[in-house]
Structure 1
């Protein structure tokens, strides 16, 4: 029997989400039905609302969910009703890259995360005869109940604060994973991180876990920079106050940092991330400024041994990485909860506004 749920529905681009009753289907083969407890709000959700990512409408967003397994579909053996799970991005589990522990590069990533339907074209949500597209990132967690794939529902310990864990499925995984997995600094290395949103601040925490000696945080918001220091940054720079930002950073870490992370995505910041590094160095860009976004860099930086790479979802295998982050959190080594402010489900549009105006780093919806 379908499950009645309340979902936040996007019916028109750039319009507020509306809370409406929907019917959620029973879990199909390889799926689980999850009663949602919390769901983080991420920049990617906002790009769905403003049309930067084209979505079929009506749609239910949400891709940083956490909840309790209510039922499992045929063939699901590693999850059971009552399990606590964090929902992450959809991946098939079988393709070339999934089998190499790089599911963020799954060959089916686009249809599993953006098309709004299962692979067979069916939907997980409906209102009478109307289809509601509820497969955003194989979860659509802005709903009191959601269907997820067993492959993107990650079991976590029941003694953790489940309502806060959702952001581990995307934003926090992206920032910390990009540092720990893609850049992989060693004890004593230096790193510069540009942009102190949820991703950049998670990168700061990841750099501290890695044992970086110099962790340089850059932003234009002094409150965010103060938060970065509390999370492990050793130096902070307000980019508005430093006309010679590159030279100022290199003065701290001469002849340049070993690694850099761009969590902004503008041409100027990507160039700065390259320019503050030594040779050789590795620079990762994860800031999103649209599906088509031209940048200009000096090839000389690359010819001298610097590598510039893009990273999806922190280059993480969530099955291993999310439990590892929860262990660090339990040990007091990864205080991601300092980024979070919770909102009621009925306040979801206010939560988006708080994320948009920068007053909150990571809003999290908590369901009744």
Structure 2
């Protein structure tokens, strides 16, 4: 059995702090763990929320939750992947609660501790700075590193000919937007949809709406460059203000997390229309008229990770990618792992839709 190995990781020491690259020690995988040598990791807005301490993240911590790489070692209970397999990493779940049994692991009763807090189970390996255990196992991976310890439920095997750097974001941002449209909302051919926010999640929703055969696809954002990209991906209309858009919609997807937009979104729903809440919302209320929901049969649904099962949905997304219907390369800009801080800045400024850092292994 392998012993501890040296890894290189980007550590955030305190909430709101910068990334510091360090050489750390990683335990061998426990029985239900998988050691993955990482080749790429996407950057997601949730990484920024955790970095800033807005979620119960354990500092010092290794973030990163859209990892992709090659299996280096497996625990004694792992039988669905083997050393040398190419894999994508997604979020972590318990596998035993009702939501997990219903193939809805995004609503796992242990979602918060397993993903935001990086809680480990008995017998699981971790990452160390000398005698200090570093916060890891974030989203069951902590993939801003050269290696990660992942799990049976959040490792998806893919074909070795597929590009790991392009497909890495499937594990969170892309599946969230696409899953919301194709699984949670189950958008039907000809239906109308408005998407608020043209980031990675919103633009993934656009591509999924095209795949679903939606009729009217409207995208709202403040960045002209992102609206232009939305049109190339299949949006039929774009704008910067939902209130000024004519007509009502069968579906509205909010990816912005801005509560002030939700009142207008409800008013823009057609009878029996559905508003999907996908953004990271601050605590507190928003101005929504209950009578406007009840009288029109409208619905509001919260969505985590698209409401999908990664083991089932990621292979489906890969099929769309191979068919040319999910052109992820149009969203992605690659950065060297050492450029992680710059990649975060590009994402926060809106200059880049989906930064992906690429690890350089000797």
TM over 0.5: yes
- Relative to 1, partners in 2 of residues 1:86 and 1:187: Cα closer, same or farther, differing over 3 Å? same
- Relative to 1, partners in 2 of residues 1:275 and 1:266: Cα closer, same or farther, differing over 3 Å? same
Task: Provide Cα deviations, 1:103-161, integer angstroms capped at 9, x if missing partner.
Answer: 11112212211223312396610011011111100100001000000110011111110
Q: Structure 1: any 5+ residue segments left out of the alignment?
A: 240-244
Matching of residue 294 in structure 1 with residue 285 in structure 2? yes
- Larger mean CA deviation between 122-131 and 11-20 belongs to 122-131
- Partner of 1:66 in structure 2? 68
Task: Provide Cα deviations, 1:291-345, integer angstroms capped at 9, x if missing partner.
Answer: x232220112211200011100000100010111011001101112211100001
Matching of residue 53 in structure 1 with residue 44 in structure 2? no
Task: Provide Cα deviations, 1:62-89, integer angstroms capped at 9, x if missing partner.
Answer: 0000010111001111110111111000
- Partner of 1:339 in structure 2? 331
- Partner of 1:259 in structure 2? 251
Matching of residue 280 in structure 1 with residue 272 in structure 2? yes
2:182 is matched with which residue: 157, 180, 183? 180
**Any conservation in 1 of the 2:7–2:147 contact (CA below 8 Å)?**
yes
**CA distance in structure 2 between the partners assigned to 1:8 and 1:145 by the alignment:** 11
Matching of residue 12 in structure 1 with residue 14 in structure 2? yes
**Any conservation in 2 of the 1:194–1:273 contact (CA below 8 Å)?**
no
**CA distance in structure 1 between the partners assigned to 2:123 and 2:176 by the alignment:** 29
**CA distance in structure 2 between the partners assigned to 1:212 and 1:337 by the alignment:** 22
- Partner of 2:33 in structure 1? 31
- Relative to 1, partners in 2 of residues 1:126 and 1:117: Cα closer, same or farther, differing over 3 Å? farther
1:349 is matched with which residue: 332, 341, 351? 341
- Relative to 1, partners in 2 of residues 1:123 and 1:293: Cα closer, same or farther, differing over 3 Å? farther
1:69-218 pair list within 5 angstroms: 69-120=71-122, 124-218=126-220
**CA distance in structure 2 between the partners assigned to 1:72 and 1:353 by the alignment:** 35
4+ runs deviating over 6 angstroms: none
TM-fit CA distance, 1:12: 1.4
**Any conservation in 2 of the 1:4–1:23 contact (CA below 8 Å)?**
yes
Matching of residue 326 in structure 1 with residue 328 in structure 2? no
**Any conservation in 1 of the 2:259–2:281 contact (CA below 8 Å)?**
no
- For these two proteins, the number of residue pairs brought into alignment is 357
1:305 is matched with which residue: 281, 292, 297? 297
**Any conservation in 2 of the 1:283–1:309 contact (CA below 8 Å)?**
yes
Match of 1:62, SS state, is coil
Q: Structure 2: any 5+ residue segments left out of the alignment?
A: none
**Any conservation in 2 of the 1:112–1:138 contact (CA below 8 Å)?**
yes
**CA distance in structure 2 between the partners assigned to 1:62 and 1:132 by the alignment:** 14
Please report the RMSD computed on the Cα atoms of aligned residues, expressed in angstroms: 1.2
Q: TM-score, normalised by structure 1?
A: 0.95
